[in-house]
Amino acid sequence: MLELVLGGVRSGKSQFAEKRLLQAPAPHAYLATADRAFNAKDSDFAARVEAHRQRRPSDWLLIEEPLHLAAAIQSSSAASLLIDCMGVWLTNLLLHTDGEMLEAELNALLALLERCEQRIIIVSSEVGFGVVPAGELSRRFVDQLGLLNQKLAERAERVWLSVAGIAQQIK
């Protein structure tokens, strides 16, 4: 079963997804898409990662995979898996791969989600409420993430939208 949790920055989407994972069958895994090496000089980002780490129960398996998400999901033996977050993963792909690899990774993830038997909760940023960005890379990010969110929502059994710490089921 797939669930998608959408929301803006600091909307409470990750905390809500963590609560949903606690209600799912164990063992649990947290798949972090951030890469410490990519973000080593960003102290604000490091603080966010640390806050997430401190919130997680100690018995959750931590998987860190910045690029090859489908492969990481396939290799996990967890019954339930939280993936946080698609925006960071897409940023990694845009900055550190070519267009061909980006498409291959997106397609691999979507294909896997069609047949995966694990309980998967995916966190993603909702980018559809903002203005069209001025820069080319920013536009590519918003376009790609918006399309990915649509494809994930289509496959998900449940979709949640988190705003100001309040999550509402929209599918």
Q: Which residues are part of a known binding site for GTP? A: 7-14, 32-34, 53-56, 64, 84
Binding-site positions read 7-14, 32-34, 53-56, 64, 84
Q: How far from 25 is each of 10, 21, 74, 139, CA to CA, in Å?
A: 27, 8, 17, 38
Q: What is the DSSP letter of 34?
A: -
Helix (H, G, I), strand (E, B), or coil: what is residue 24? coil
- Pairwise CA distance, residues 115 & 2, whole Å: 11
Helices (H), 10-42: 13-22
Strands laid side by side in the 158-163 sheet: 61-64, 28-32, 80-84, 119-125, 2-7, 158-163, 166-169
- Pairwise CA distance, residues 132 & 20, whole Å: 32
Which position among 28, 52, 68, 96 bears the catalytic label? 52
β-sheet bridge partners, residue 82: 30, 121
52: annotated active-site residue: yes
Tokens representing 140 are 């590519």
Q: Which residues are designated catalytic?
A: 52
